[in-house]
Amino acid sequence: MSGASLLDVRSLRIEFPTRRGTLVAIDDISFSIAPGEVLGVVGESGAGKSLTGAAIIGLLEPPGRIAAGEISLHGRRIDDLPYDAMRKIRGRRIGAIFQDPLTSLNPLYSIGRQLIETIRTHLDLGESAARTRAIDLLREVGIPSPERRIDHFPHQFSGGMRQRVVIALAICANPQLIIADEPTTALDVSIQAQIISLLKRLCSDHGTAVMLVTHDMGVIAETADRVAVMYAGRIAEIGPVAEVIHAPKHPYTVGLMGSIPSIVDDRERLVQIDGAMPRLNAIPPGCAFNPRCPRAFDRCRIERPELIAVGVSRAACWLYPGAGADAGAQARAGAVR
């Protein structure tokens, strides 16, 4: 399905130069997102999932920098664009939703003013047409009596309502891709369910693709078409959501799935992955997961595995013969569904 993809990330490497040497936060990852597809990106704190999202929308905080690789949207490279050109893409073609809705909104401006400003930046609309569109957007994201609420300030909204406003901002120029970074993490479960179903509805209505970054496997299960599992700056496994959840291939994914408590099972103990994710300055050689892996053998400690096809998923693990060799080329050939 190469060529048809909306977003292509190839061999992306993100580095942080420090006084004590360069830290590699993202190390050679490749994936793509098809139009209208929801790609979930999971992993624990520090796996590099948010950083990947930030790199795509060009909001990598210095000193972090893209050291190698390409990011392209519709086949056009966007990672090397000058600041102004990237500004036109951000918001217009790629929207963003962040974790904390309060810090994503300016507390000094009414939400209407923020929406209208964003709409007029990206679309050729006059003040009153932009206001009408803003009200329509607020209605679409489920804010009651939008004609009145449009003049309210962020502090007058609850957390769930604020996140709806942030979503309205993200979709106001009809982007083809939304990067949603932990959009429901700051919310209570009942509100979380509302926001997830809202995102799902909007994406299917508008055909928007989403890269959904979260640590919550439950959210992914409900929303995503495919999942990428990240560990220590690399993709450990990527595949269709049902496959990754029910038949995980990489030992890390197996452990991760088993460690999630559930209301439908009565296990005495949860699966436990001992240890913790390595720090960036102490990533072990070979497979980064090898010190915690129950199935590690000699090769895992020496040679780094690349993603290879395992059934309908792809996993970077030496347990599956054939990893290595031309796996990098395969990974760049696009996603396997």
Partner 1 sequence: MELIRAERIGKTFDVSPPWLTRALAREPRLLLRAVDDVSFGIRRGETLGLVGESGCGKSTVARLVVGLYRLTTGTITYGGASIDALAAGRAGRALRRRLQMIFQDPYASLNPRWRVADIVAEPIRAHRLLRGRRAVQARVDELLVQVGLAAADGARYPHQFSGGQRQRISIARALASEPEFLVCDEPTSALDVSVQAQVLNLMRDLQRELGLTYLFISHNLAVVHHVADRVGVMYLGRIVEIADKRRLFATPRHPYTRMLLDAIPDLGLTGKARTPVAGEVPSPLDPPTGCTFHPRCPLAGDRCRREVPLLKRVAGVPDGAEGGEAACHAVEEGRDGASGRGV
Site for partner 1, rule CB under 8 A: 44-45, 158, 160-161, 188-194, 196-197, 215-219, 221-222, 241-242, 245-246, 255-256, 258-264, 267-274, 276
Q: How far is the CB of 121 from partner 1 (least distance, A)?
A: 31
79 vs 243, which CB is nearer to partner 1?
243
264 vs 329, which CB is nearer to partner 1?
264
d(CA 87, CA 21): 31
Q: How far is the CB of 130 from partner 1 (least distance, A)?
A: 28
The bridge status of strand 94-97 relative to strand 226-231 is unpaired
Q: How far is the CB of 194 from partner 1 (least distance, A)?
A: 6
Q: Which two tokens stand for residue 13?
A: 């490497």
Strand partners, 13: 27, 68
**CB burial readout 69-106, b (16+ within 10 A) else e:** bbbbbeeeebbebeeeebeebbbbbbbbbbbebeebbe
40 vs 334, which CB is nearer to partner 1?
40
d(CA 300, CA 295): 9
Q: How far is the CB of 310 from partner 1 (least distance, A)?
A: 20
94 vs 245, which CB is nearer to partner 1?
245
103 vs 158, which CB is nearer to partner 1?
158
What DSSP string describes 245-311? HHS--SHHHHHHHHTS--SS---SS-----S-PPPGGGPPSSSTTGGG-TT--HHHHHS----EEET
Q: How far is the CB of 201 from partner 1 (least distance, A)?
A: 11
172 vs 196, which CB is nearer to partner 1?
196
Q: How far is CA 121 from CA 151, 177, 218, in A?
A: 19, 18, 36
Q: How far is the CB of 22 from partner 1 (least distance, A)?
A: 23
Tell me how many degrees the CA angle 263-268-273 measures, rounded to the nearest 5: 90
Q: Which two tokens stand for residue 168?
A: 């309205």
242 vs 333, which CB is nearer to partner 1?
242
Q: How far is the CB of 197 from partner 1 (least distance, A)?
A: 7
